[in-house]
Amino acid sequence: IPCSMSSHAEESDSTKPVRGYIDGCFDIMHSGHYNAIRQAKNICDVLVVGIHSDPEIAENKSMPVMKQDERYSLLEHIKWIDEIIHDVPYSPQIATLERAGADFCIHGDDMPVNAQGVCAYDEMRLAGRLRIVKRTEGVSTTDLIGRLLTLSRSQPSEWDGRQSPRMGFRVSADDAIA
């Protein structure tokens, strides 16, 4: 089911900071995630980032690779993020924007479909509170996972676990520091 990405411009009081909201799984963070967050920050004064819980992701996509706490803490180190909200719904609602104190929701131009088979951002779009940023072409968590699986399958069976022709020697942290 295709998702429409149209949105309406919204005027704001020039004395009040414009608050934007972007959400995601943020599993295996990559340049596409960082670029979306950077673009989102460019269209608002305060950027609130929502992050989905493991059960929410499992219901709508598949289990994330990174643990929930790892994904939650990772966002604390991104300079474009002003505030973080944990355990947000996969399909944001007006109540989600109210919880974030946000004027609008932001998402890349790759609209996802939720577990019910509808565009996860339809409520935001229909309310005129959706802003679109450009998706970073050629990178996705799904592609990264696929590459990792391909690499893990292509390792020689005779590899002794300590040395790989592609990766050199594996050493412990203590040996590397010494």
| Full pLDDT tens readout for the chain, 178 residues | 445 444 434 444 568 999 999 999 999 999 999 999 999 999 999 999 999 999 999 999 999 999 999 999 999 999 999 999 999 999 999 999 999 999 999 999 989 999 999 999 999 999 999 999 999 998 888 888 888 888 877 765 555 555 555 555 555 666 656 5
Q: From CA 63, how far away is CA 67, in angstroms rounded? A: 9
- Token couple for 58: 């499992």
Please tell me the pTM assigned to this model: 0.78
